Copies of this chain bind each other. A is one copy, B any other.
Amino acid sequence: MGVITLTTDFGTSDWFVGTMKGVILSVNPSAAIVDITHELPAGDIHAGAFALTACHAFFPRGPVHVAVVDPGVGSERDAIVLRTRNHVFVGPDNGVLSLATDAQEVLAIHRIENKTLFRNPVSSSFHGRDVFAPVAAHLCRGTPIQKVGPRVKDFVKLNPPLPRAGKDSIRGEVIYVDRFGNAITNIDSRMLSGLAGSDRHIAVRGRRICELSSHYAAVAKGKPVALINSCNLLEIAVNGGSAAHRFRLNRGTIISIRAGS
């Protein structure tokens, strides 16, 4: 029994996701299908790429990860399959697969072209159902990746912003805001531990908002807190509240950390 994960912006108020599952089960009745999320902001490739990065390594060996954030559906954009040591990724070639594969070697890239694996006819607006679901189901059943189409050399990559480290400060930015209003930054624990001094202040728009703590409840209810989160990234939160709302944090908001004396 193979695992197929689904990460989309299709929402759950319509029939889109259920229909993809029907197609998957038609091809591969024993696939275990796991929803990552379907509530990505419509067309938000960066959010989809980040969600896939955050979750994919927690699945048992050999999963097929399908990510469909696909504003270009029906256009000339390519569809691809990426294979790494432990994972297979399926989606449009628009960058949505490119963060999850950042930290692992991509062993093969194939362009999805083999129409015999698709539903027929292929609609121009729902490749999740007609292309990605059946291709993933075939791959999960054991169809070799080279059957999906020709091997290609490259795929579209997002260029996520990188933090900059000075001697006694780091300047990064918010890359994701979660449902609790926690703001996840691009500053990781290794970079933080390289910062001299034990007294580390987090600032937004020149205003110090908190120090680094170990967990949310280390501060009183309603107080801001920064911690290394479960993705190993610096996260700014408010205990029992929304940091995004309180400090107007969005993707791209600059976050700086300065070590005290």
Residues of A within 8 A of B (CB): 1, 3, 5, 7, 10-19, 21-23, 25-26, 29-30, 32, 34-40, 42-43, 51-52, 54-55, 58-60, 63, 71-75, 123-126, 129-130, 178-180, 214-218, 227-230, 235, 239-240
Contact = CB atoms under 8 A, between A and B. Distances in A.
* Count of this chain's copies in the oligomeric assembly: 3
A29 B75 contact: no
Contacts of A178: 11, 13-14, 16
Which 3 residue pairs are nearest across A and B when measured between Cβ atoms?
A: A74-B215, A126-B230, A11-B179
Given A34-B18, A60-B25, A125 B71 contact: no
B54 A19 contact: yes
Nearest to A11: B179
Nearest to A27: B60
B25 A126 contact: no
B37 A14 contact: yes
Contacts of A19: 36, 54-55, 58
Contacts of A214: 74, 124
Contacts of A34: 18, 21-22, 25
10 contacts: A1-B29, A14-B37, A14-B178, A15-B51, A25-B59, A42-B180, A73-B217, A75-B217, A125-B216, A126-B229
A15 B36 contact: yes
* Interface hub of A25, A55, A75 (most chain B Cβ within 10 A): A55
Contacts of A35: 12, 17-18
A217 B54 CA distance: 29
A40 to B, nearest CB: 8
Contact of A179 (B13, B32, B54, B230): B13
Contacts of A126: 229-230
Contacts of A227: 74, 124-125
Given A75-B218, A216-B71, A26 B129 contact: no
Contact of A215 (B55, B58, B73, B239): B73
